[in-house]
Amino acid sequence: MNEFCVELRDVVKRFPTPEGSEVFAVDHVTMQIKNGEFFSMLGPSGCGKTTSLRMVAGFEWPTVGEVYIEGEAMGRRPPYLRPVNTVFQSYALFPHMSVAENVAYGLEMEKTPKYEIKRRVGEILEMVKLSGMERRKPRQLSGGQQQRVALARALVKHPKVLLLDEPLGALDLKLRKEMQLELKALQQEVGITFVYVTHDQEEALTMSDRIAVMDHGRVLQIGAPVEIYERPNSRFVADFIGETNFLSGEARAIEEDRVTVYIPSLKDELVGAKAAPVNVGDQVVVSMRPEKIRLASDRALPQNCFSGIVLNTAYIGSDTRVIVDLGGAPLAVWEQNKISTLDPEAYYAPGEQVWVVVLPENALVLQDV
């Protein structure tokens, strides 16, 4: 058995534009998706994630490069000859067929015997909690139910890989959260490789074993959620995943994995962790997550400690979100409310002078691109 379930090798997809030129939807993408993995492609719309998925499914063919499924080159093989199935963003349920007919469709194409179809359709509908809905038409179902039918229809074929194109995009927030957990549980239950496309970073972090962050047709970083969040390799990834503060500056000295950066707006130096290849003299940015910055009432450390003024605070229960004016630019700091108290003195107030403290390992130095 091949180690990689799905592999994209240096894949390029160009589309002609109406003006007659060409646009790179996917630009030299290489990805290796392991067996049994929950793999997400994450990026803003137009980043090439859906096109990449569609090339795995066979709806599009690469202009250059090759898609491999189970080690086999797919070339221009049509979708119906590939061992993958898709859950569509719009669900794409056949409107003229009942739930059971929709789910049975793929099995009929395999010439599965009737009794076998009946049994498997029953099983899968039970699995997605749709028993009793067999004879309904898609338009008689709620959004969440339609979503489950789409899932059942794809899973019933026992594909090697299940491709999911923003399957939760049309659901409301609460239902989406529920379905995220259900999907993850389902994936562990059936043990099929899931390739999941989404623009919702929280969704990707919650569900995935590994994430590929994409932008402008290129893969910027592939890694486990914790790597992507804690060690983004570029300004885009740091910005797109979660929230962060950026300070621009110039790399002054590099010592192993520590970089000393001069920050013009602070007229001071800041020591950060080297998260991407940088050289002395480079223009860099320092990324600091709001929850990893501390506020103090006096100068706590000899370095990485800067004076600011509280602009604004928002109490949101678990945290207090503080905006600090740091060298003329706003800086977001999330202070966890670890002590239960009603004393207003315990919270920061606008106008207060504070010290912003950031540990070098929490200040990631990245190329400014």
Binding site for other proteins (CB under 8 A): 57-59, 76, 78-80, 84-86, 88-90, 92-96, 105-106, 109-110, 153-154, 157
Q: How far is the CB of 175 from other proteins (least distance, A)?
A: 21
Q: How far is the CB of 131 from other proteins (least distance, A)?
A: 21
Per the rule left: phi > 0, alpha: psi between -120 and 50, beta: everything else, 328 is left
DSSP annotation of 128 reads T
Question: In angstroms, rounded to a whole number, what is the distance separating the alpha carbons of residues 6 and 160?
Answer: 9
- Angle at 29 (CA atoms; ends 27, 35), nearest 5 degrees: 155
Cβ proximity to other proteins, 93 vs 212, nearer residue? 93
Question: In angstroms, rounded to a whole number, what is the distance separating the alpha carbons of residues 330 and 309?
Answer: 10
CB 235 within 8 A of CB 285: yes
Q: How far is the CB of 96 from other proteins (least distance, A)?
A: 5
Cβ proximity to other proteins, 80 vs 115, nearer residue? 80
CA distance to 94, 95, 306, per residue, from 135 (Å)? 13, 12, 66
CB 14 within 8 A of CB 62: no
Q: How far is the CB of 84 from other proteins (least distance, A)?
A: 8
Q: How far is the CB of 8 from other proteins (least distance, A)?
A: 18
Cβ proximity to other proteins, 92 vs 311, nearer residue? 92
Per the rule left: phi > 0, alpha: psi between -120 and 50, beta: everything else, 238 is alpha
Cβ proximity to other proteins, 58 vs 225, nearer residue? 58
Q: How far is the CB of 20 from other proteins (least distance, A)?
A: 13
Cβ proximity to other proteins, 97 vs 254, nearer residue? 97
Cβ proximity to other proteins, 79 vs 144, nearer residue? 79
Cβ proximity to other proteins, 95 vs 191, nearer residue? 95
Q: Is 134 exposed, middle or buried (0-12, 13-18, 19+ CB in 10 A)?
A: middle
Question: In angstroms, rounded to a whole number, what is the distance separating the alpha carbons of residues 318 and 21?
Answer: 52
DSSP string, 166-222: STTTTS-HHHHHHHHHHHHHHHHHH--EEEEEES-HHHHHHH-SEEEEEETTEEEEE
Q: How far is the CB of 113 from other proteins (least distance, A)?
A: 16
